[in-house]
């Protein structure tokens, strides 16, 4: 990467320091990673069972069914609160970093996920007293149902916006990357990647301090990571300098394909968010309008869709199949670079 000196500190030193900070940031986001994924998947399974049963309950007034639904809601609420807290915590960490980097795009994008996390946690918390009331045969205030529906609409509304913006930026990046790789050779493509994650001499000279250089670097890295995923972004930052210094065709081709693949899989992830959000919004509108079994049935469908993002194995399989369809032929299996979205 280009070398310049700011207040006696060379640019490569700044890059190294900021990369260490980003690595630490991503380590902080690995908070009980596996436990959170398992909890999320169990919540999804419980939600599928509860909402399917609730659909039956709406059609048949069977006491045993009502007890089963209330018991499932109690379990789901208790399990959901920590997941909502964890998603909110991750969003707060990312938003805090975005503020320090003066990065409005990252701040807005992660704030939407924070709203999703807060709403999910609050909705889960409301399920607990409601379920206890149902089990104890105590009337639940209508305000609780209205509040739950309001939180559901807020959660899925924020998720829809989060997903829609994600699809837009990943799609735009994918089109640019396709144009670059079709018009340039491998060296040219790597040079373009360098422009996305580094600063040119003119950009460095325009900065008045080391802090400003660091902020610009972090904004570029955040923008790149939003479009290809944080693990692919880290891989590019690790491998690109060596490839440019000692070019080899095969490693370069592999990195180029990996960027294309990771970008497409990020788009799949955001598209799944939109799908889940639309089903979720329809379900809570149905619940507000008291449309019988429609609301619970839609929530059961949404829970099936949630499994496609909460389970890294299921998500990887779906993303891989979408990638194969996108490429038009079977491709060699490359490990998916996307974590469970609730954890990323």
Running DSSP on this structure, what letter comes out for residue 5? E
Q: Three-state secondary structure along 8-61?
A: CEEHHHHHHHHHHHHHHHHHHCCCCHHHHHHHHHHHHHHHHHHHHHHHHHHHCC
Mean pLDDT of successive 10-residue stretches along the chain, which has 344 residues: 51 86 81 81 89 74 74 90 92 94 95 95 92 84 84 95 97 96 94 93 88 93 95 93 92 94 94 95 86 82 89 87 77 44 44
**The tokens of 22 are what?**
């980003």
Prediction pTM value:
0.85
* pLDDT for 225: 95
> Locate tokens 């032929």: which residue?
329
Gyration radius (Cα) of the chain, Å: 23
Running DSSP on this structure, what letter comes out for residue 62? -
* pLDDT for 287: 81
* pLDDT for 291: 67
- Helix H segments across the chain? 11-28, 33-59, 63-100, 104-135, 142-183, 186-197, 201-206, 210-228, 230-245, 249-288, 294-310, 312-327
| Count of C-beta atoms within a 10 Å radius of residue 144 | 14
In whole angstroms, give the CA distance from residue 207 to residue 179.
Answer: 31
CA angle 339, 341, 344 (to 5 degrees): 65
Running DSSP on this structure, what letter comes out for residue 140? P
In whole angstroms, give the CA distance from residue 322 to residue 76.
Answer: 31
* pLDDT for 3: 43
| 3-state secondary structure (DSSP) of residue 6 | strand
* pLDDT for 58: 63
In whole angstroms, give the CA distance from residue 331 to residue 325.
Answer: 10
In whole angstroms, give the CA distance from residue 269 to residue 161.
Answer: 13
Using the CB atoms, write b or e for 42-81: b if 16+ within 10 Å: ebbbbbbbbbbbbbebbeeeeeebbebbbebbbbbbebbb
In whole angstroms, give the CA distance from residue 203 to residue 19.
Answer: 19
In whole angstroms, give the CA distance from residue 116 to residue 153.
Answer: 10
* pLDDT for 85: 92
CA angle 221, 226, 228 (to 5 degrees): 90
* pLDDT for 112: 96
* pLDDT for 9: 60
> Locate tokens 């250089």: which residue?
213
CA-wise closest residue to 281 among 170, 164, 168: 164
């Amino acid at each position: 990467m280009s070398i310049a000196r700011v207040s006696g500190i060379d640019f490569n030193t700044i890059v190294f320091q900021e990369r260490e900070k980003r690595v630490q940031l991503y380590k902080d986001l690995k908070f009980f990673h596996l436990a959170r994924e398992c909890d999320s998947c169990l919540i999804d399974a419980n939600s599928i069972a509860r909402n399917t049963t609730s659909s039956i309950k709406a059609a048949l007034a069977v006491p045993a069914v009502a007890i089963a639904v209330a018991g499932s809601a109690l379990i789901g609420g208790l399990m959901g609160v920590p997941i909502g807290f964890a998603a909110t915590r991750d969003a707060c960490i990312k938003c805090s970093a975005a503020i320090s980097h003066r990065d409005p795009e990252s701040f807005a994008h992660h704030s939407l996920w924070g709203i999703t996390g807060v709403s999910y946690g609050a909705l889960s918390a409301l399920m607990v007293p409601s379920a206890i009331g149902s089990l104890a045969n105590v009337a639940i205030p209508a305000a609780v149902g209205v509040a739950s529906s309001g939180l559901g609409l807020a959660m899925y509304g924020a998720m829809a916006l989060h997903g829609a913006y994600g699809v837009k930026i990943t799609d735009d990046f994918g089109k640019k990357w396709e144009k670059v790789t079709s018009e340039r050779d491998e060296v040219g493509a790597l040079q373009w990647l360098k422009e996305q994650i580094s600063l040119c001499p003119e950009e460095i000279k325009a900065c008045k301090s080391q802090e400003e250089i660091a902020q610009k670097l972090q904004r570029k890295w955040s923008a790149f990571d939003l479009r290809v995923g944080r693990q692919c972004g880290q891989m590019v930052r690790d491998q690109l300098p060596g490839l440019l210094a000692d070019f080899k065709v095969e490693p370069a081709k592999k990195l180029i394909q990996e960027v294309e693949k990771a970008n497409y899989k990020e788009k799949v992830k955001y598209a799944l968010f939109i799908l889940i959000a639309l089903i979720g919004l329809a379900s809570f509108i149905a619940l507000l309008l008291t449309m019988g079994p429609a609301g619970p049935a839609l929530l059961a469908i949404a829970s099936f869709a949630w499994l496609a993002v909460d389970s890294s194995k299921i998500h990887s399989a779906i993303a891989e199949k979408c990638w194969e369809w996108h490429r038009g032929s079977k491709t060699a299996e490359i490990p998916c670079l996307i974590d469970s979205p609730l954890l990323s």
